[in-house]
Structure 1
Amino acid sequence: MAMSKSYPVFLLLIFLALLGWFYQSQNSQLQIQQQQELDGFKKHLGGFAQWQGSGAELYQLLSSDYRFQFFQYVDDTDGELNHTEGSLTAKDDHPLAGLFPLNLAHTQKIATGRLQIKLSANQAIEEAINNTEKLGLMLLVAYLILLGIFVALMARMKATIGYAAQYISHLPDMSFSAIATSKLSGEMSPIKLALEECRTQLKTQLDKLTQENEKLHRAAYQDPITGFGSRPRFTSKLENISQPNVPQLGLLAMVKATELAHVNQLQGRTAGDDYLSNVANCIRKACSKYPNAECFRVSSADFAVFIPDVVIKDGSKFLEQLKIFLDEYQQIIKTESTAHTGLVPYQQGANPVTLLTLADTAVSIAQTLGPNSYHIQEKLNGDEHFGDDRWKLAILDLITRQALKFYQQPIQPCRNDVEVYRELLARFYNSEGKFLPTTTVIAMAERHGLSTELDKLVVISTLKMLKENPTFSGNFGINMSAFSAHQELFVGWLKDILGKHKSIASRLVFEINEAGMQANLGASFKFVREVHSVGARVSIERFGMSFTSFKFFNEVRPDYIKLDGSYSTAIDEDSNNKFFVRMMVDVARRIGIRVIATSVERQEEKLTLEKLLVDGLQGYYIAQPQALTISDQV
């Protein structure tokens, strides 16, 4: 039973118990008093024991001291002396008189007669009834007062609980104001303090959740490196443009950071992230005059910029400004280029696939025009070569012209008895003498089946350079595609041409990517064998990225392995990388293979790798790539 219902009943029972106790007390007291009065009458009647008069006279004498409910005197000899007053049965005028039953009857023999009386208790009963009624009324009034107070307190408590319940129900949305002291005071203060503490903690937790949600939102819709919108937001923008019922027009600029793979390979991913961040800053500065421009990072090296309400003829201003910033950044990082840009128009209802194809074509054309170049492509037509076809023509042209220049990055030996080499880095340029992005040239050559011809160009150019410059001493590393190394015709051609230049061949080291070599172990072993037969050597670059790297030692037996740059990054703090490098060095030394660590960018990394007994070190901390000149000697 709820407290609001049980308390009035409990209180009523208490008051009834008090009334019952008072009634019992009054009844007992009344019985005692009347019994004392009856005993007094008996004693008083002893003075009339020899009475021989009439009963009426005796009544007059006794009634002066006592009140009788019933009086009867019966003489033994003379009936005229008999006298009777009242009745044995009381006439109860009060309905509560029955609550106080009294038996004050007495019969006694007196001389020549018999006396029977019953004293009257009406006055005492009335007094007891009055006292009981007064107490009952007082208890009733007290009960009603206490009940009223209880109802008022319960109403106040109910209102307080309702307020607290409302407060609790609004805690999740934090829309309820701070709780008033007057609402939950006194005995409700602990609840007030608990609610305040709960509200504070809940707000703290909600703030944390909000921050985490913002982080997740940024991770999902904002690129953490550049601060631009992510690919999902770019896709959403394309869908919005494709809506035919949304009036809009503008320009889409696609920017390709063409040096990302090169920077990652030579300097590490940290430098690659810095490079992307700076390219993004160049884009951001170029967009400063276009407040409504929206920038996105579409993929690892691709950016997209939407410039609304600008027509194609005004797009050159944006492109020229962007090229200025990219050229300035190129002078700082000293690379062959920074990024290339393609610009295309868009309007409402534009097909996203067609729009991106047009933009990709514009970027591809820009890449063939030189460092940081741009190209505006309004539409495609069949009279021109675009995209991949243009790249095919550009690669065929540079092969025909032998448009190649070499940069070199030395490898530092860790001991005097270790023979290492300088890595030659090929750079290609167009008919105007402007450098083309090396990574893109190699990728496009593979796409069009020209990678073998490109590798032949590198080999021929290397032999020619060393033959014409006898002052260049020492060994030189040449990058070669795994595709070419697995072609029998190419391997035969390479063996034949190296056989004609054995003195130079003995100074060459052919560098091939581990993943490509493992694609065909049989062909890889044959390539190493043929190269060794003419005195040249083989180096496997980006080594250690495969689970079968250890098996590769015995299967192919290269002369050098160049560990992937990820093993050098922060190796002074990475115990796992230390263990792997130590194990590689131990296995390689047993079979006579030299281990070279790449992407060494800090002194701590250099010192740690030297302690691990690698044979050589390469990276920006050791030496940066430089143009190969006639004065370069080892």
Structure 2
Amino acid sequence: MTISKSYPILLLIIFLGLFAWVYQSENNQLQLQQQQQLASFKTSLTQYQQWQGNGAELFKKLAEHYPFQFFQYVDDTDGSQNYTEGSLDNQDAPPFSSLFLIDLSHTQKLATGRLQVKLSTNQAIEIAISNTSSFGIILIASYLLLLAAFIILMSKQKVAIRYAADYISKIPDLSFSAVASSKLSGELKPIAVSLEECRTQLKTQIDKLNQENEKLHKAAYQDTVTGFATRQRFTQKLETISNPDMPQLGVMAMVKATELAQINQKKGRTAGDDYLVKVAACIRKACSKYPDAECFRVSSADFAVFIPDVMLKDAPKFLELLKSYLDEYVQVTESESVAHIGLVPYQQGTDAVNLLTIADTAVSIAQTLGPNSFHILEKLNSNEQFGDDRWKMTINDLITRRALKFYQQPIQPCRTNVEVYRELLARFYNSEGKFLPTTTVIAMAERHGMSTELDKLVVISALKMLNDNPAISANFGINICAFSAHQDLFIAWLKDMLSKHKHIASRLVFEINESGMQSNLGASHKFVREVHSVGSRVSIERFGMSFTSFKFFSEVRPDYIKLDGSYTSNIDEDSNNKFFVRMMVDVARRLGIRVIATSVERQEEKLTLEKMLVDGLQGYYIAQPQAITTTDQI
């Protein structure tokens, strides 16, 4: 039961109790007074004990001192002396006299008669009723006053509570107006303080959540590395372009950071991210003259730039500017290339898929034109594979011309009795003598089924270089793809070539990616066996990325394993990498397999790996790729 209902009831009970107490006190007092009056009457009768006169005279004498409701004198012998006055039933009783029941009857024998009386209590009862009613009126008035005061206070309290409830109910709507303390004063002051604290804290938390939400929104739609918009925004932009009801015109440039995969593999992802940041900076500077340009990072190595209200004939200005910035970056980094650009026009209603197809073809063509080249393509001339066909022709051309040049990156032995080698890095160039992105050349060769021919070119070129330059006495590693290593015809061809150059074959180490070798352990073992038969050796690169890597130790038995660069990264601090490297070194040592750590970029990594007894170290901290001279010796 609520206090608004229980309080009036409790107050009523208290006042009824007070009234009952007053009534009982008044009744007790009245009873006492009347009993005293009856006792006085009895005492006064002692002087009339020998009364023998008329009853009327006796009544007259007693009535002077006592009021009678009933009086009767009956003489024993003379009936004329009898006298009766009043009645036993009180005909003149005041209202509510029944509340005070008093019996003042008395019968007494006198000398010659009998006296029976009943004293009147009307006056005393009227006084008692008057006193009780007066007090009752006071109680009722007090009750009503207290009840009215309670109702007023409760109404005020209800207003304050309703205000607090309304305030709390508005909190989910994120309404944070200040609390009106005047409406929550007195006993409700703590609620006002609590609500104000709650408001302040919630507002602070909401502000923090809004900031976090902005960060998440930024993370979702802004690339953390480059600061460009993400693929989701790029997709939305394509949807906008494909809308035929939204007039628009412009050009879209696709920029492919073609060296990312090689940088990640050789230098690590940190260097790769730095490379992307620099490419993005070049794009941003080129776009500075186009305030409405929008830049996106579409994938790990692909960027898109939309420049509205630019005609196709004016696009070369932007491309030349971007190429100049990329060329500047090349000079700073001393690398061969940075990125390639394909540019296509767009207008409202342009099909997004077709636009991307043309742009991808334009980038593919640009990659065949040399470092940091660009190509503008308006349409595909009904040949959607134009870009791929261009690559096929380019690869055929460089195989025919044997258009490649070798760079080398040494492997540093960790002990004097360890025999290691130098890795040959093939660089391909087009008919104009401009280098092509190696990763793209290999990928396109695999797409067109020309990887085996490309591997043959690498082997033949390496044999020719070593045969023509006998002063070069080092051992060299040659990269070939796993697909070629699993082909019987290629193995037979390679064995025949090495047999013809046995003095060189013993200096060659064939490097093959572990993931490709894992696909067919039987064919991998056969390749290793045939290569060993002519004196050459085999190295498994990017080793340790598969759960079945240790199966190589027992089934394939290579001469070297080159640990994936992820194991080297921060190995001085990463206990997990230390555990795996230590385990692989232990197993490899028992089987006579040399372990080479790659992507060594810091002195701390070098010292840690040396303590773990690896056999060789390779990475930019040890030596960067460099051109081969005719006097190179190990």
Q: Normalized against structure 2, the TM-score is what? A: 0.96
Deviates more, 1:600-609 or 1:170-179: 170-179
Deviates more, 1:351-360 or 1:162-171: 162-171
Gaps of 5+ in 1: none
> Any idea what SS the aligned residue of 2:141 has?
helix
> Any idea what SS the aligned residue of 1:170 has?
helix
Q: Within 5 Å, which residues of 2 pair with 1:208-223?
A: 209-223=209-223
Moved over 6 A (4+): none
Conserved? CA contact 2:357–2:384, under 8 Å: no
Following superposition, the deviation at residue 543 of structure 1 comes to 0.7
Q: Structure 2: how far apart are the matches of 1:210 and 1:56? A: 110
Q: Which residue of 2 aligns with 1:611?
A: 611
Give the share of equivalent positions with the same residue, in percent: 75
Following superposition, the deviation at residue 309 of structure 1 comes to 2.3
Q: Structure 1: how far apart are the matches of 2:453 and 2:401? A: 13
Conserved? CA contact 2:474–2:632, under 8 Å: no
Q: Within 5 Å, which residues of 2 pair with 1:575-590?
A: 575-590=575-590
> Any idea what SS the aligned residue of 2:419 has?
coil
Q: Structure 2: how far apart are the matches of 1:390 and 1:74? A: 157
- Listed one character per residue, the Cα deviations across residues 466-497 of structure 1 (whole Å, up to 9, x for unaligned) are 22323322111111111222222222222222
Alignment partner of 1:323 is 2:289: no
Deviates more, 1:496-505 or 1:247-256: 496-505
Q: Which residue of 2 aligns with 1:269?
A: 269
Following superposition, the deviation at residue 402 of structure 1 comes to 1.8
Following superposition, the deviation at residue 90 of structure 1 comes to 1.3
- Counterpart of 2:410 in structure 1: which amino acid? P
Q: Which residue of 2 aligns with 1:8?
A: 8
Q: Within 5 Å, which residues of 2 pair with 1:85-234?
A: 85-92=85-92, 94-207=94-207, 209-234=209-234
Following superposition, the deviation at residue 615 of structure 1 comes to 0.2
Q: Structure 1: how far apart are the matches of 2:284 and 2:295? A: 8
- Listed one character per residue, the Cα deviations across residues 333-352 of structure 1 (whole Å, up to 9, x for unaligned) are 22211111111111111111
Q: Which residue of 1 aligns with 2:571?
A: 571
Following superposition, the deviation at residue 131 of structure 1 comes to 0.8
Q: Which residue of 2 aligns with 1:360?
A: 360
Q: Structure 2: how far apart are the matches of 1:5 and 1:240? A: 66
Q: Structure 2: how far apart are the matches of 1:191 and 1:435? A: 76
Q: Structure 2: how far apart are the matches of 1:305 and 1:455? A: 36
Deviates more, 1:389-398 or 1:229-238: 229-238
Following superposition, the deviation at residue 415 of structure 1 comes to 0.4
Q: Structure 2: how far apart are the matches of 1:547 and 1:482? A: 18
- Counterpart of 1:89 in structure 2: which amino acid? D
Q: Which residue of 2 aligns with 1:246?
A: 246
> Any idea what SS the aligned residue of 2:106 has?
strand
- Counterpart of 2:594 in structure 1: which amino acid? R
Q: Structure 1: how far apart are the matches of 2:68 and 2:270? A: 124
Conserved? CA contact 2:176–2:199, under 8 Å: no
- Counterpart of 2:148 in structure 1: which amino acid? G
Q: Which residue of 2 aligns with 1:81?
A: 81
Following superposition, the deviation at residue 268 of structure 1 comes to 0.8
> Any idea what SS the aligned residue of 2:439 has?
helix
- Counterpart of 2:297 in structure 1: which amino acid? R
- Listed one character per residue, the Cα deviations across residues 175-199 of structure 1 (whole Å, up to 9, x for unaligned) are 1323222233333234334434444
How has the CA–CA distance of structure 1 residues 182 and 569 changed in structure 2, closer, same or farther, with 3 Å as cutoff? same
Following superposition, the deviation at residue 215 of structure 1 comes to 4.5
> Any idea what SS the aligned residue of 1:183 has?
helix
- Listed one character per residue, the Cα deviations across residues 285-341 of structure 1 (whole Å, up to 9, x for unaligned) are 222223332222211111112222222222222222221222222222222111111
Deviates more, 1:375-384 or 1:419-428: 375-384
Q: Structure 1: how far apart are the matches of 2:173 and 2:385? A: 61
Q: Which residue of 2 aligns with 1:462?
A: 462
Q: Structure 1: how far apart are the matches of 2:286 and 2:55? A: 141
Q: Which residue of 2 aligns with 1:288?
A: 288
Following superposition, the deviation at residue 228 of structure 1 comes to 2.0
> Any idea what SS the aligned residue of 1:541 has?
strand
Q: Which residue of 1 aligns with 2:298?
A: 298
> Any idea what SS the aligned residue of 2:173 has?
coil
Following superposition, the deviation at residue 211 of structure 1 comes to 4.7
> Any idea what SS the aligned residue of 1:171 has?
helix
Alignment partner of 1:350 is 2:350: yes
Q: Which residue of 1 aligns with 2:623?
A: 623
Following superposition, the deviation at residue 383 of structure 1 comes to 9.0
- Counterpart of 2:64 in structure 1: which amino acid? S
Following superposition, the deviation at residue 229 of structure 1 comes to 2.1
- Counterpart of 1:551 in structure 2: which amino acid? K
- Listed one character per residue, the Cα deviations across residues 574-626 of structure 1 (whole Å, up to 9, x for unaligned) are 21211111111111111211100001111111111111100000011111112
Alignment partner of 1:546 is 2:546: yes
Deviates more, 1:417-426 or 1:84-93: 84-93
- Counterpart of 1:465 in structure 2: which amino acid? M
Q: Structure 1: how far apart are the matches of 2:150 and 2:239? A: 68
Structural RMSD (CA): 2.0
Q: Structure 1: how far apart are the matches of 2:117 and 2:384? A: 149
Gaps of 5+ in 2: none
> Any idea what SS the aligned residue of 2:183 has?
coil
> Any idea what SS the aligned residue of 2:182 has?
coil
Q: Normalized against structure 1, the TM-score is what? A: 0.96
